Structure 1
Amino acid sequence: MDWFPIVAGAFKVLALCTGMFYAIKWHYDQGKKGKAYVKDKRALLRAGGTVAAAFMLSLLGLGLVAFALLRMLGNDLSFP
């Protein structure tokens, strides 16, 4: 059983190196194509802002629900 960590480690390194190679190659090929896929910068920024706003609202909602649940269960939430 002493050979298993060596074989598993070698397989892991090989798989990660192969994945990194193809990821770098894909990004390099996308860069050679140019920026034809970004046609409307305003729409891209609007979509990014919408996603960020939705994330912040869901984070705020989760915090409020957690605070209300902890208060309902009787936890002491006051600062010392």
Structure 2
Amino acid sequence: MDWVPLVLVTFKLLVFGTGMFYAIKWHYDKEKEESGKQTAQRSEKRALLRARGNVAAALVLSLLVLALAALVLVGTPGLELTFP
């Protein structure tokens, strides 16, 4: 019974050590690969941010239109909607 924790802890350390080695290697290789692509990606990133901004502006505008339409529809049948 005394050998079970020793074997399991050793196995766990080997598995985690191997996983950490490959994780660090993968990140290092990815950084090395991306260092050459950074200039091309900046323009793509700007275009993506611009598109996201346009979508966000359209969403906010549509929410404002929806809120205005809701206020008009609530007031039409005679429901009283006053703000304190």
The two structures have a TM-score, normalised by structure 1, of 0.52
Aligned-pair identity in percent equals 13
Unaligned segments of structure 1, at least 5 residues: 1-17
Structure 1 residue 23, shift from structure 2 partner: 7.9
1:54 aligns with 2:51: yes
Structure 1 residue 72, shift from structure 2 partner: 0.8
Q: Given residue 52 of structure 1, which amino acid in structure 2 is its aligned partner? A: L
Distance in structure 2 (CA, Å) of the matches to 1:57 and 1:29: 38
Distance in structure 1 (CA, Å) of the matches to 2:64 and 2:28: 50
Larger radius of gyration: 2
Q: Given residue 64 of structure 1, which amino acid in structure 2 is its aligned partner? A: L
SS in 2 for 1:73: helix
Alignment correspondent of 1:32: 28
Q: Given residue 26 of structure 2, which amino acid in structure 1 is its aligned partner? A: Q
Name whichever of 40-49 and 29-38 sits farther off: 29-38
Q: Deviations over 1:25-57 (max 9, x none)?
A: 52x213433513443332100111111111111
Structure 1 runs of 4+ off > 2 angstroms?
A: 22-26, 30-34, 36-42
Aligned length: 56
- Residue from 43, 67, 71 that aligns with 2:68: 71
Distance in structure 1 (CA, Å) of the matches to 2:64 and 2:27: 46
The two structures have a TM-score, normalised by structure 2, of 0.50
CA RMSD of aligned residues (A): 3.1
